[in-house]
Amino acid sequence: MNRSHRVRTPAIVAAAAAVAMIAAGCGGSSSSSSSSSGAATASAPGITATQILIGSHQPLIGPAAPGYSEIAPAANAYFQYVNAHGGIYGRKIKYTYLDDGYDPSKTVSDVHQLILQDNVYAIFDGLGTPTHLAAVSFINSSKVPDVFVASGCDCWNDPSKYPDTFGWQLDYIREGKILGAYIKQHFADKKIGYFYQNDEFGQDGVKGLDYEIPHAQVVSRQTYVPTNVNVGPAVAALKASGAQVVVAFAIPAFNALFKLTSLKLGFNPTLVASNVGTDPITLGGLLEAYAKQGGAKVNGNQLTQGIITDGYLPTLGDTGNSWIALFKKIHDTYDAKAPFDGNVLYGEAVGYTFVQAMLKAGKNPTRADLVSALNHGLPQGPAVAPYAYSSSDHAGVTGAYIGVIKGGALVQQGPVYVTDTSPTGAVTAYTGSEQTAPATGMP
Amino acid sequence: MTLARHAGAAIAAAVVIWVLSVSLSSFRDYQIADIAVYVVAIAGLTVLIGLSGQISLGNGAFMAIGAYATALLQMHLDWPLWALFPASAAIAAVAGVAVGAAAARLHGPYLAGATLLLAVALPSFATQFPGVFGGDQGLAVSVTAPAALGAAFPLTRWLAWVNAGTALIVLVLLANLARSRIGRSWQAVRDDETAAALAGLNVARLRILAFIVSAACAGLAGSMLAVYSSQVSPGSFTVTLSIALVTGAVIGGLGSLAGALWGSLVIVLVPTYVTDVATSHGLSSTVAANIPIVAYGVVLIAVMLLFPDGIQGGLRRFFGLNPPAATGPHTRFNSLRRRQPASEHQEEGTT
Amino acid sequence: MREFIQFTLGGISFGMVYAAIALSLVLIWRGTRILNYSQGAMAMLTTYIAFTVIGHTGSYWAGFAAALAAGLLLGAVIERTVIRPVENKPPLNAVVVTIGLLVFLEGLAGIIYGGQYRSFPPAFSITGLRAGSVALGVSRNDVFVAGAVLAAALGLALLFRYTSAGLRLRAAAFNAYAARLLGVRVGRVLTLGWALAGLIGALAGVLVSPATFLYPASMDSIFVLGFTAAVIGGLDSPVGAVVGGLILGVALNYIGGYLGSNLVPVFGLAALIVILMIRPSGLFSVSTSRQV
């Protein structure tokens, strides 16, 4: 069954989403030609009659490890749940992830090991932009599916150059546009300052912001590098410029440092920040010590209160949400040592997406079947906005809602917005609805 | 003839490597290329530390220079491989002149510190000038096996051949250098700088020369790294790399070229093995990934306290290859002994 | 102008921490002629101990005291076990051993505490102080940091000048043989030197960790800059260590402010090279330069 190609207007997006939901409810039909009912066979490298072997590269130690090292175990937790409930067409998922310490040379080495020695079926959720960029050519030339890269770079959306590579999370340009549109609407007369990481993450985010926010409004642009924790000069510069709203594309540690340094300098702007750095549990944890201060006037939660950010997965605070309930249950069973925070939610959600894709690829899929399955689109799953997946678009989630951190949890404000990565593409409210989690927990 | 002996050994090794590369899996070929990179870098470093007595904690920076030189030369001028390797080594050597000249006046911890800071500071250049150096994402390097070998020739085997061949050539050259007049002059400077100067050796020039050689080797190693991993980016050249090189040199045996091989094998193969063992025993992946680090630290300390001559020294003793006059593990390093103050008042500070 | 003042005051805070690390390095260097590359890692470990104690008792000062005590103990233990065998050996051995120690301690902390960033409390409020309505860019905690390091430096100076332990330390550093002949237990004195260095390093750790968060590699960049400060000031000179730390902290803050965060290590390197070119033993060192 062929899906209609996605066209970027809300009505058709909603219709396609509805079709997808129905199709998903029917148990996911396959569009591959090699699917067949009957016995499970070793249809591709990494696939045997009983097992699907996938691999990844993750920063388990080193500067990028805090937080990110929780993602792979969380995805694995979801896979263990699936394995315990029948697996994928009877096969269990075995997930091997190698540490690359955020060193691109090590990533290349790891990927060579996974593909040449371990013969994985696919590379799943490779984490990091410079790291994955180092390996992506080799993965594609080896014709191995490279699904759901854990990075918001829009470089994964290049079907002509990297036909086997697919993004997953909301990319930074889209995120910048969504935040920018919100600022343009709600802070039209305020001075804006930027505080961003001096690499592709921050630079792409700022690109998106600049597509929406009029240049004249931006009074200061300050960068930081993760190796230098002294953000005093940058914050001082922002304060001196008179910025009333600061937009931050920063990792949690640097959002926390921004807040603390602002306190020291007596600077109190409204903070609008990328979701990369605003998981309330992580951020709260970093500021926790300031809540324990006897007699001091600052309090951990106070510092995160009122931060405006975005989200493309249901918020952790929304305990009534079916996805949160499902993922919490799985976390408590299979990954209980980790805190149930944004990284764990990310890991489980992307794991769920992989299972969706595999089910769609067919009972005895080849590597090409997985790629083809994604090229024909994927149902929304836990994400709040649809995926862009098609044969001409390998980007993942296309939108997010704006939220505010209140009382240590993220609270959604308003609708979900969707957009594209072009300078002129509009940011529009998404009129489709979210899917609910399946009762069995399996797609 | 020394050259003939070394060349013969190299040819024998080349045959062995050829056999390995053809009979082992693709991934092992890739690992051969990986190990060869470290052999070249560590060989240069072990000559610097072991023969000329200078400590450098920043050779990772020279590797970065060589690697980026390769990427840029290929990107802008489209040079072929056989030109890229020597050119990158030469560019790194020029940097070595600059650093060596600055370092010639420094000794011991001051030199170590300056080189450490070099290793820390150099990656920032890539992100400071992203237009030239590609910033955090780095630059791509494209490598293909030559057409003469046939379209189906596995790229990994070609990489293994290129890197291993280069490493063997470098080892032959360094072995000859170590046995030559220059090598002996280095050891003289290392053993007693004053006496060497009195004997007419130009101490400063020799020290700078040693730096140049080790920088050239590191630059070449960086070039090999760029080629076989087909990319360069600042994340690969952190201080961890420089420390790993020193670790490899020490574990293998300082001053010994065979030690460069042992050290490389340890650095490349042991951490993954240890992590695998740890994970298969049920330890969490983060803990398992930290265990090689703890092991590194313990091994470094243990080697220095118990086996200062490293693996090569241990092998020598095991096979009875030590010349009868050798009196123990520290003979080689008499020169690096802490100097007694020349005058009694030399070391008193102000408080 | 206000920016300039804020940069200066902000630089002093970090500069004091660099000064503390530099001071501990100088202490070890003068006693044993060894540069302790694991000084930062030792400080990180003692700060983790403080973190654990604070977590259990809820009292910051209990943790503070625990860190200082742990620093004393750790320094002494390390000197006695791992450093003693390499004290009379070539300097390379000590370099390798202390680097091995650095790697070991970081891996150990990673295994015991995990890699995630911990929030470490400051001693006093971090809200900026104001002169009237003008924010000074300095908090009560910053004043405490500066005061604590200065007190430690002063304490060390008094120890060296006016106590018999200090006299013994100086004697052993000056000429170990003669000191031994005069009845000084040189071994014990060296252990004391390392213990004191561990104490000062631990102090630096708890003072800076609120601003860097606590994780196994958190003291790495602090150590590099503290070490740069020590070399700039002269490894023989405690005064040089403090002055070097201050100058470096403030200068790098100007660089970070006016030129950008990325250039800080580059300028650190440039400063080091320039100063070592002019005075190869550091600014305040009084040892004679090497003659050939």
Min CA distance, C98 vs chain B (Å)? 8
Q: B133 to chain A: which residues are within 8 Å by CB?
A: none
Nearest Cα of chain A lies from the Cα of B286 at a distance, in angstroms, of 6
* Residue A341 buriedness (CB in 10 A; 0-12 / 13-18 / 19+): buried
Give the end-to-end CA distance of chain C in Å, rounded to a whole number.
49
Q: Which residues of B touch A199 (CB under 8 A)?
A: 127, 135-137
What chain A residue is nearest to C110 in terms of C-alpha separation? A61
Buried b / exposed e over C67-79, threshold 16 CB at 10 Å, is bbbbbbbbbbebb
Q: What is the pLDDT of residues B263-291, one digit of tens each?
A: 999 999 888 888 888 878 877 777 888 88
Using only the alpha carbons of chain A, give its radius of gyration.
21
State mean pLDDT over A26-53: 69
- Among the residue ranges A250-264, A310-324, C265-279, the one predicted with the least confidence is C265-279
Nearest CA in chain B to A138: B230
pLDDT at A28: 38
Q: Give the nearest chain A residue to C250 (CA atoms).
A: A233
Q: At what angle do helices A232-241 and A252-265 cross, to 10 degrees?
A: 60
Interface test with A, best of C261, C263, C266 (most A CBs within 10 A): C261
Over range B10-20, report the average pLDDT. 90
Query: For residue A45, is it left (φ>0), alpha (ψ between -120 and 50) or beta?
Result: beta
Indicate yes or no: CB of B301 within 8 angstroms of CB of C101: yes
Nearest C-alpha in C relative to B110: C231
What is the distance between the alpha carbons of residues B188 and C226, in angstroms, rounded to a whole number? Answer: 34
Average pLDDT over residues A241-269: 93
Residue of C nearest to A267 (CA): C135
Interface residue of C30, C92, C222, C273 to substitute, partner B, most B CBs within 10 Å = C92
Rounded distance, CA A344 to CA B55, Å? 45
pLDDT greater than 80 at residue C93: yes
pLDDT confidence bin for B108, thresholds 50/70/90: confident
Task: Name the B residues in 111-150 with CB < 8 Å from any C CB.
Answer: 112-114, 116-118, 120-121, 124-125, 127-128
Do the chains contact at B297 and C102, CB–CB below 8 Å? yes
- Which DSSP symbol is given to A47? B
Element (H, E) at A361: helix A342-361
Q: Which residues contact C140 (CB under 8 A, 6 or more apart)?
A: C124, C125, C126, C127, C129
Structure tokens at B137: 């994402």
- Report the gap between the CA of B115 and the closest CA in chain A (Å): 19
Q: What is the pLDDT of residues A47-91, one digit of tens each?
A: 999 999 999 999 988 877 788 999 999 999 999 999 999 999 999
| Residues of chain B contacting residue C280, judged by C-beta atoms under 8 Å apart | 105-106, 110
| Averaged pLDDT for residues B197-218 | 92
- Give the mean model confidence (pLDDT) for residues C124-135: 78
Other Cβ atoms less than 10 A from the Cβ of A49: the count is 12
Residue of A69, A71, A102, A112 to mutate, interface with B, max B Cβ within 10 Å: A112
Residue among B109, B250, B342 whose CB faces C35 most closely: B109
For the cut 60, the answer to whether the pLDDT of residue B83 exceeds it is yes
Chain A hits for C110, CB-CB cut-off 8 Å, are 61
Dihedral pair phi/psi, residue A91, rounded to 5°? -100, 145
| Greater model confidence, A270 or C159 | A270
The chains in contact with chain B, meaning 3 or more Cβ pairs closer than 8 Å, are A, C
Mean pLDDT of A151-175: 95
Half-sphere exposure in the Cβ direction for C183 (13 Å, CA): 2
Spatial strand order in the sheet of A308-311: A218-224, A192-197, A245-249, A270-273, A308-311, A399-406, A409-418, A428-429
Chain centroid, CA C54 distance in Å:
22
Shortest distance, CA B65 to any CA of chain C (angstroms): 15
User: Predicted confidence band at B186 (pLDDT cuts at 50, 70, 90)?
Assistant: very high
Are C37 and C78 within 8 A, CB to CB? no
Q: How confident is the model at residue C46 (pLDDT cuts 50, 70, 90)?
A: very high
Label residue B135 exposed, middle or buried (CB < 10 Å: 0-12, 13-18, 19+): buried
Buried b (16+ CB within 10 A) or exposed e, A299-324: ebbebbeebbbbbbbbbbbbeebbbb
Lowest mean pLDDT among B102-111, B152-161, C17-26: B102-111
- In eight-state DSSP terms, residue A400 is E
Q: What angle do CA B285, B288, B292 make, to 5 degrees?
A: 145
Question: Which chain C residues contact residue B246 at CB under 8 A?
Answer: 96, 99
Q: What is the pTM of this model?
A: 0.89
Contact status of A225 with chain C (Cβ, < 8 Å):
yes
Percent of chain B's residues with pLDDT above 70 = 91
**B225 close to A (CB below 8 A):** yes
- B312: contact with A, CB 8 A cutoff: no
Q: Which residues of B touch A101 (CB under 8 A)?
A: 240
**Cβ pair B344:C235 closer than 8 A:** no
Give C95-123 pLDDT, tens digit per residue: 889 999 999 999 999 999 988 899 999 99
CA distance B53 to chain C (A): 9
**Cβ pair B64, B220 in contact under 8 A:** no
Mutation target to probe the B interface, by most B beta carbons within 10 A, among C227, C269, C283 is: C269
Measure B27 CA to nearest chain A CA, in Å.
Answer: 5
Please, what sign has the CA dihedral across residues B75, B78, B82, B88? Answer: negative
Q: Which residues of B touch A73 (CB under 8 A)?
A: 284-285
Percent of chain A scoring above 70 in pLDDT = 89
When CB atoms are compared, the residue of A225, A253, A295 closest to C261 is A225
B291-350: pLDDT as tens digits: 888 988 998 899 889 888 888 888 888 887 765 444 444 444 444 444 443 333 333 333
Q: Are strands A409-418 and A399-406 parallel, antiparallel or unpaired?
A: antiparallel
Task: Name which residue leads in pLDDT, A18 or A78.
Answer: A78
pLDDT of C244 above 80? yes
Q: Using CB atoms, which residue from B120, B124, B347 is nearest to C224? A: B120
- What DSSP state is assigned to residue A435? P
- Over A144-212, what HEC string results? CCEEEEECCCHHHCCCCCCCCEEECCCCHHHHHHHHHHHHHHHCCCCCEEEEEECCHHHHHHHHHHHHH
Strands C128-131 vs C134-139: parallel, antiparallel or unpaired:
antiparallel
- Which stretch of A229-238, B146-155, C25-34, C102-111 has the lowest confidence by average pLDDT? B146-155
3-state SS of A273-332 is ECHHHCCHHHHHHHCHHHHCCCCCCCCHHHHHCCCEEEECCCCCCCCCCHHHHHHHHHHH
Q: Which residues fall within 8 angstroms of residue A160, CB to CB, at 6 or more apart?
A: none
> Least CA distance to A113: which residue of chain B?
B27
Residue A432 pLDDT greater than 60, yes or no = yes
DSSP conformational letter for A393: B
Mutate to test the interface with A, among B157, B245, B286 (most CBs of A within 10 A): B286
pLDDT, tens digit, 9 for 90 and up, residues A84-129: 999 999 999 999 999 998 999 999 999 999 999 999 999 999 999 9
Interacting residues of B137 by C-beta distance below 8 A, sequence separation 6+: A129, A130, A133, A199, A200, B233
Interface of C with A in 208-247 (CB under 8 A): 210-213, 215, 217, 221
What is the per-residue pLDDT for B53? Answer: 85
Asked if A239 and A265 count as a contact pair (C-beta separation under 8 A), the reply is yes
- Which DSSP letter does residue A436 get? P
Question: How much is the average pLDDT of B55-76?
Answer: 94
Q: Determine contact: C132 vs chain A, CB below 8 A.
A: no
CB atoms A225 and C3 under 8 Å: no
Which residues of chain B are within 8 Å of residue C235 when distances are taken between CB atoms? 109-110
Residues of chain B with Cβ-Cβ distance to A133 below 8 Å are 137-138, 231, 233
Residues in A 157-196 with any Cβ partner in C closer than 8 A:
none
pLDDT (0 to 100) of residue B240: 86
Residue B222 pLDDT class (50, 70, 90 cuts): very high
Q: Is C133 on the interface with A (CB under 8 A)?
A: no
Touching C: which chains, 3+ CB pairs < 8 A? Answer: A, B
